[in-house]
Amino acid sequence: MEKQLAEILITKYYDLFSITLENSISKYEAEKCAILAVQEVIEALKINSWQNANVIDFYDKVLTEINK
């Protein structure tokens, strides 16, 4: 599931910027956008980390998949 979400995020950023910009971004740049988004989610979840431990673990795995 983590791998699928990683691929979805990369594809969404790639598609979004390919549509809205004259020069589309590379897959590398789309991956960087996805990494930043996931890092922001993790930081927000850490506010109540004791409640969100499982979700934080999931997004850490998503981050690992994006970085592969």
pTM value is: 0.83
**Using CA atoms, how far apart are residues 19 and 43, in angstroms rounded to an integer?**
29
pLDDT in tens, 29-58: 999 999 999 999 999 999 988 899 999 999
> What's the confidence (pLDDT) of residue 26?
83
Instruction: List CB contacts of 62: < 8 A, sequence separation 6 or more.
Output: 2, 5, 6, 9, 38
**Using CA atoms, how far apart are residues 47 and 4, in angstroms rounded to an integer?**
26
pLDDT in tens, 2-39: 999 999 999 999 888 777 656 677 888 999 999 999 99
Length of the chain: 68
